Structures are given as C-alpha cells and as structure tokens.
C-alpha cells in the first residue's frame, strides 16, 4: 500500500507539486495522468526517494521514505522516464549489478533468468546495452525495476518511444503485474491509461484535478450522463419528445445529416438510465433510432477540459509558471 | 560498497580508460626512472617520485572525471539513489574504484626497485616509505577530484577543474616564495600537499604527514556525500 500525504515540492518560487494526497491499495493499478510538465515525474521521484519533498510524507507498507529510506526503498521497483542503464554493460551483467545494488536476497541466477523471461529479453542477455534498440532498452529498465519482486512498482511513462506492438505487450505486462504488485504508472496518453488502470488520477500544474475509477471518471467530472443519438425524423418533434422524459436535462441537435436524419446529444441525470424511455418516446412519434451510444464525452475531451480549465483558473489567480 | 567498486573497476577495464592511464603512467615513470637513476647513477628514487606529481596531477582527474558527473548526465544516478544502498557506500565504492586503478599504476615502482636490485642494493625502507607517500597523495587527490566530479554534470569540466587544481598545487610553493607576507606564506606552506609528500620521498615517515593526507581524503569524501545529499533537497 502506498500512502501519499500533502506532498509538496518547490523549486525556488515555483511549486512543481502542490499538496498532493492519495492512497493506492495493494493490487491496484493506478494511472497517473497529466500533460507534460504537470509534475508527474517529480511526484514519482519523491515517492521513490530520488529527491526529497519540501513537505508531506510518503509511506509504503507502513514505513516512511525519508525516515527509513533503506527499508522503504527495498519495497519499490522504479522505472524512471529514462531507464537508468549503464550502456557499457551486457544485459546480464547490468541486471546482476542491479541485483547486488538492491541487496536482493533471492537466488541470483534463477531470479535474473526469471525476470528476463518475464520481459522477454532472454535472447538479448549477452548483448551490450549500447547496441540495443529503444524497445529492448525499455524492457531492460523494466527488468531492473522487477528485480527482487518489490511489492510496489513505479513506472514513469513506460511506453514512450515504443512501437504499437511493444506498447500492447508492455500494457499486458503491467496488467499481469497488477495482480501481485501495487502499480503506479504515469503517462500522457489517455487511451493507454484507461486500457490498463483500475483508477486514474489526473494531475495538472502540480495539483490533483480528478481521482476516480476509470469507468466513472467521465461522469465524475461532468456530473451528468450523456447519450448520443442518431434519429430519423423532424428535429423539432424529436427534441420536444425527448425533453418530455423526466430525467433529461438538455437535448440538442448536434449536426444535421442527409435523408432527414440528425445527430442529437442528450444530457440526463446521473444514476438514471433513460435509454428505454428514449426508445419508447421515439417509437410513439414514429422516428426510428439509427444509432444510440452512451457516455458520449470521451476521456480525451474530459482530459482536455480538466487540464485546460485548471490552467485558466491558474491564470486568473495570477499564477506565473 | 563492494557492488559499486566492482562496477567501477569493470567500467575502467572494459573501456580504454584503465589502459591509457596505466600506459601513460608507465611511460613517464619509465622515462624519469631511466633519466634520473641511470643518468645520475643513483639508487634513490626520490627524484623520480618528485617528478611523478606532474603526471599524477593529470591522470587522476582523467580517472575520476566520470564518477558522478556521468551518472548524473546519463540519469543512472536514479538507479543508485533509489536503491537501498546508502550514499556513503556509493561514494566510498567509487573512491575505492579509482584508488585501486591508481594503486595498480603505482606498483610499477616496485618493479623499478627490483631493477635497481640487479645493479646495487636498493634502500628498501626508503622505497616503501616513498611508495606509501605516493599512495596517500593519490588517495587525497582522488577524493578531491571525486568531489569535483560530484559538483558538475560535465566530465570535461570536472577534468579541467581537477587539472587546474593540480597546477595550482604545483605552483603553491612558488607563490609562497614570491609573497613576503609572513602569515600567508606560513598558511600556504601548511596547506601545500607537496611539502608533506616531499618528506615521504626522503624516507621520512612522520605521523603528521600521514594524518594530513588521511584527513584530506576523509574530508573530501564527506563533502561529496553532502553535495549529493544537498542536491536531493534543493
């Protein structure tokens, strides 16, 4: 379990991370999302003890990183944004070095072989890291983080610079690791986070702007649910019929299409399912529904809304970063 | 500590660094040895050792320039600092790595002593005393240069700064001679490592000289730990 309380980091007058608090339960995969420069890496560097915090605490399974660094660091596997590789070593030599550095007590050869199998670099074990491609380097970095089976894994943008096939592999790996480990992983790619994580924290300008389960995030942010429809028939009739449904807050035509068809966006109260009502209402006035899709607001829209809204607030408050 | 030491040595010996450094050391010490011992027909290695400072001054910054600057630049310090290995262990491990390489270079002097023994009886106590001197001087200079390397991200800057410091030390004697202000002269003489080193080359093994170099070494290793620690807090 990872507990972060009121974590703050200042560089001079600039607050890179501003009073962040969250808890990650064992076996949870937490996605850390934010635009570039939002403070993701700084937060992760503080959690792992690479840099100190200006104030606030990080507790991992009950031991605090600044009070008891030796024991706490043993519980963390960290893959920084740039994998910390000694490029003049072979993969195996490097992993042996990291094994010793982390003071792992497991049987050395077997454990390293197992980790290399897990991230699929066994065939590359005798190659010098300098000569490896970016994807393989990333995997060596991954292997390094997994040494010693730490209960907590912190991964800073683990899929940057990989090709789509490798990205899918890494995602699968993260998902499978999430069963045994607590995983915190950051990215600025939304689809990736939503595909892998149980929970998402959105961070912008050093502050948490959203913290919710992946499937709830969209509704958690907007406060109402949305339905996108494609209906054939006169727009005025359609809209007035939909508006008669009690839970509906707003109904708007988004776009006219050919053959007397149009796209509509219906916003309705949270916790109510209006799909059946919409269906019966349209059936009554004889306008066929050609397409119906709930949760129209994509995560991308939401992400932009969250991060830009925050920036606007920030400017209004006279921030200067 | 042992892990870091092993990694440092493998990095020296898996690259050209160790070989170039050792070759430089051997060539120049060989030239001095031939010129001084054979040229003047003497069994004393004092002159050879005295001149060796000018070589050490250049090769130690070359050995140590990478120690921390390169880690910082390549971001590999993230692996070191987030591991359960303490900063002190890391600093001492790196210091010992450079020190072992330097000590390996110095062993050539024992070979020269053996060469002398074919022609005359070498003065073994003096030779061993001088050997201890160069090892202690080297340790202090390595500690200082490791400290310089921890200050910067560029190994070029670390090397140049280290060499500049070496030159300054070699001029320290001349500077104190030129100045006529007594107390400055006294201070400069007291802090000049060469004054302490020279005693060793004459075969004088004094506790003051040993303590001077050991203190210098310990002090700069301590500073290095502090600098690295401070960086995490700023």
Q: Give contacts of A 260-319 with B, CB under 8 A.
A: none
Same domain membership, residue A208 and residue A123: yes
Same domain membership, residue A192 and residue A86: yes
Is the C-alpha dihedral spanning B95, B97, B98, B100 positive or negative? Answer: positive
Residue of B nearest to A84 (CA): B76
Q: Residue B192 is encoded by which pair of tokens?
A: 């000049």
Residue A177 lies in a domain: yes
ipTM: 0.88
Q: Residue A36 is encoded by which pair of tokens?
A: 């570039």
A243: domain CATH number? 3.30.70.1340
What average pLDDT values come out for chain A (321 residues) when binned by 10 residues?
90 87 89 84 90 89 86 92 91 94 92 91 92 90 92 89 82 84 86 82 86 73 74 87 86 84 85 85 89 68 68 45 37
Residue of A nearest to B74 (CA): A84
Same domain membership, residue A156 and residue A54: yes
Same domain membership, residue A231 and residue A207: no
Q: Report the half-sphere exposure of A143 (CA within 13 A, side-chain side).
A: 30
Tell if the CB–CB gap between B78 and A78 is shorter than 8 Å: yes
Least CB–CB distance from A78: residue in B2, B82, B85: B82
**Bridge partners for A308 per DSSP:** none
Tell if the CB–CB gap between A89 and B77 is shorter than 8 Å: no
**Enclosing domain of residue B70:** 2-233
Strand A76-79, strand A152-156: pairing:
parallel
Measured between alpha carbons, how far apart are the two ends of chain A, in Å?
33
Tell if the CB–CB gap between B84 and A82 is shorter than 8 Å: no
Chain B residues touching chain A at CB-CB below 8 Å? 2-4, 6-7, 10-11, 14-15, 74-86, 232-233
Residues in chain A with CB shorter than 8 Å from the CB of B232 are 50-52
Distance separating alpha carbons of residues B9 and A218, to the nearest angstrom: 54
Are A77 and A153 a contacting pair, CB within 8 Å?
yes
Residue A39 lies in a domain: yes
Residue B6 has pLDDT above 50, yes or no: yes
Same domain membership, residue A281 and residue A132: no
Same domain membership, residue A75 and residue A181: yes
Least CB–CB distance from A80: residue in B4, B75, B233: B75
Residue A282 lies in a domain: yes
Are B79 and A98 a contacting pair, CB within 8 Å?
yes
For chain A, the domain total comes to 2
Residue of B nearest to A48 (CA): B82
Distance separating alpha carbons of residues A144 and A77, to the nearest angstrom: 8
pLDDT at position B179 is 82
Q: What DSSP assignment string belongs to A265-310? A: EEEE-TT---HHHHHHHHHHHT--EEEEEE--S-HHHHHHHHHHHH
Same domain membership, residue A203 and residue A148: yes
Mutate: best of B74, B79, B81, partner A, most A CBs <10 A: B79
Among A134, A133, A194, CA closest to A159: A134
Residue A306 lies in a domain: no
Q: At CB < 8 A and 24+ separation, what contacts does A188-192 make?
A: A188/A33, A188/A34, A188/A35, A188/A36, A188/A40, A188/A157, A189/A159, A190/A33, A190/A299, A190/A300, A190/A303, A191/A299, A192/A159, A192/A167
Same domain membership, residue A229 and residue A212: no
Across B2-30, average pLDDT = 92
Strand A289-294, strand A225-232: pairing:
antiparallel
Strand, coil or helix: B204: coil
CA distance A249 to chain B (A): 51
pLDDT at position B215 is 96
Q: Residue B128 is encoded by which pair of tokens?
A: 């061993």
A145: domain CATH number? 3.40.50.300
**Enclosing domain of residue A290:** 223-294
Residues in chain B with CB shorter than 8 Å from the CB of A80 are 75, 78-79
Tell if the CB–CB gap between B79 and A87 is shorter than 8 Å: no
Residues in chain B with CB shorter than 8 Å from the CB of A97 are 3, 6-7
Residue A252 lies in a domain: yes
| Residues B39-84: tens digit of each pLDDT | 888 888 888 888 888 999 999 999 999 999 999 999 899 999 999 9
Measured between alpha carbons, how far apart are the two ends of chain B, in Å?
26
Least CB–CB distance from A100: residue in B3, B15, B86: B3
| Residues A252-308: tens digit of each pLDDT | 888 888 888 888 888 888 777 888 888 998 899 888 998 888 764 566 666 777 777
pLDDT at position B154 is 92
Across B121-133, average pLDDT = 88
Residue A317 lies in a domain: no
Residue of A nearest to B72 (CA): A84
Tell if the CB–CB gap between A101 and B78 is shorter than 8 Å: no
Same domain membership, residue A238 and residue A119: no
Distance separating alpha carbons of residues B34 and A298, to the nearest angstrom: 81
pLDDT at position B160 is 95
Same domain membership, residue A209 and residue A143: yes
Residue A316 lies in a domain: no
Mutate: best of A8, A9, A86, partner B, most B CBs <10 A: A86
Same domain membership, residue A52 and residue A189: yes
| Residues B135-178: tens digit of each pLDDT | 999 999 999 999 999 999 999 999 999 999 999 999 888 888 88
For chain B, the domain total comes to 1
Residue A82 lies in a domain: yes
Tell if the CB–CB gap between B232 and A50 is shorter than 8 Å: yes
Same domain membership, residue A264 and residue A214: no
| Residues B176-223: tens digit of each pLDDT | 888 888 888 888 888 889 889 888 888 888 999 999 999 999 999 999
Residues in chain A with CB shorter than 8 Å from the CB of B233 are 51-52
CA distance A297 to chain B (A): 39
């Amino acid at each position: 379990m990872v507990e972060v309380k009121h974590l703050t980091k200042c560089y001079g007058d600039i607050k890179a991370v501003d009073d962040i608090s969250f808890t990650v339960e064992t076996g949870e995969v937490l996605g850390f999302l934010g635009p570039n420069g939002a403070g993701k890496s700084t937060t992760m560097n503080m959690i792992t003890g690479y840099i100190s915090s200006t104030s606030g605490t990080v507790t991992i399974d009950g031991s605090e990183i600044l009070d008891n660094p030796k024991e706490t660091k043993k519980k963390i596997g960290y893959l920084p944004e740039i994998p910390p590789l000694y490029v003049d070593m072979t993969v195996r030599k490097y992993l042996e070095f990291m094994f010793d550095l982390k003071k792992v007590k497991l049987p050395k050869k077997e454990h390293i072989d197992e980790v290399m199998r897990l991230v699929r670099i066994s065939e590359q074990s005798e190659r010098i890291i300098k000569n490896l491609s970016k994807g393989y380097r990333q995997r060596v970095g991954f292997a390094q983080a997994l040494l010693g089976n730490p209960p907590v894994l912190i991964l800073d943008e683990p899929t940057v610079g990989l090709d789509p096939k490798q990205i899918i592999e890494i995602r699968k790996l993260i998902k499978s690791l999430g069963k045994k480990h607590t995983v915190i992983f950051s990215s600025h790619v939304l689809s990736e986070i939503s595909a892998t994580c149980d929970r998402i924290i959105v961070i912008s300008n050093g502050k948490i702007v959203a913290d919710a389960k992946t499937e709830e995030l969209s509704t958690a942010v907007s406060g109402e649910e949305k339905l996108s429809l494609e209906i054939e028939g006169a727009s005025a009739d359609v809209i007035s019929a939909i508006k008669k449904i009690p839970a509906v807050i707003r109904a708007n035509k988004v776009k006219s299409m050919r053959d007397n068809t149009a796209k509509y966006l219906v916003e309705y109260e949270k916790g109510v399912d209006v799909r059946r009502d919409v269906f019966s209402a349209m059936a009554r006035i004889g306008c066929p529904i050609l397409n119906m899709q709930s949760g129209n607001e994509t995560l991308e829209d939401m992400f932009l809304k969250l991060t830009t809204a925050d920036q606007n607030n920030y400017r209004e408050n006279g921030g200067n970063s | 500590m042992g892990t870091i030491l092993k990694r440092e040595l493998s990095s020296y010996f898996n690259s050209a660094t160790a070989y170039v450094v050792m070759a430089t050391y051997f060539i120049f010490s060989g030239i001095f040895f031939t010129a001084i011992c054979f040229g003047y027909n003497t069994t004393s290695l004092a002159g050879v050792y005295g001149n060796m400072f000018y070589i050490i001054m250049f090769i130690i910054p070359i050995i140590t320039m990478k120690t921390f600057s390169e880690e910082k630049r390549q971001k590999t310090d993230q692996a070191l600092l987030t591991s359960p290995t303490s900063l002190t262990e890391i600093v001492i491990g790196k210091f010992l790595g450079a020190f072992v390489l330097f000590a390996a270079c110095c062993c050539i002097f024992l070979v020269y002593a053996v060469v002398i023994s074919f022609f005359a009886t070498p003065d073994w106590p003096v030779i061993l005393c001088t050997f201890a001197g160069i090892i202690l001087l080297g340790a202090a200079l390595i500690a200082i240069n490791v400290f310089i390397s921890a200050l910067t991200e560029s190994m070029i800057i670390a090397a140049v700064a280290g060499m500049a410091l070496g030159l300054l030390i070699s001029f320290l004697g001349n500077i104190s001679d030129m100045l006529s202000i007594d107390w400055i002269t006294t201070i400069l003489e007291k802090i000049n490592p060469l004054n302490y080193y020279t005693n060793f080359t004459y075969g004088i093994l004094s506790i003051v000289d040993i303590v001077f170099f050991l203190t210098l070494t310990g002090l700069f290793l301590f500073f290095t730990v502090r600098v690295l620690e401070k960086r995490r807090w700023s």
